[in-house]
Structure 1
Amino acid sequence: MNERMCPSCHQKMAEGYKIKVNTYGALKLEPGRTKPGEIAAGVCPVCGQIALYLQK
């Protein structure tokens, strides 16, 4: 498995987050599984950088 690395501080990113949108259009990251083809997110625990990617 290929681990995602933060482009800013080069630390391992915490993966497995999904994106939720509330009725006001605000985005929220929640831990959870995503299906293939859905957008997932990784968060750097050191600097807070967020990376979006398509789940394969």
Structure 2
Amino acid sequence: MKITIAYIPDEEEAVTTSVAALRRISPNMKVRKSDRHPPFKHIYLTTKKPENPCRDK
């Protein structure tokens, strides 16, 4: 699953709270930040594909 959050610097506190809540749901989530497109900032959240439990047998 991939989640992209675009925000302006004034919204940083709300974004930090949202990312913390998402990390509680999925602790192994990878977070990447980007400032390439001013005035917007982006946060990219990525999780790995779930393993198939049927193949473990």
Structure 2 length normalisation: TM-score? 0.27
Q: Which has the higher strand share?
A: 1
Which protein has the larger Cα radius of gyration, Structure 1 or Structure 2?
A: 2
Structure with larger RCO (C-alpha < 8 A, sep 6+):
2
Q: Which has the higher helix share?
A: 2
Structure 1 length normalisation: TM-score? 0.27
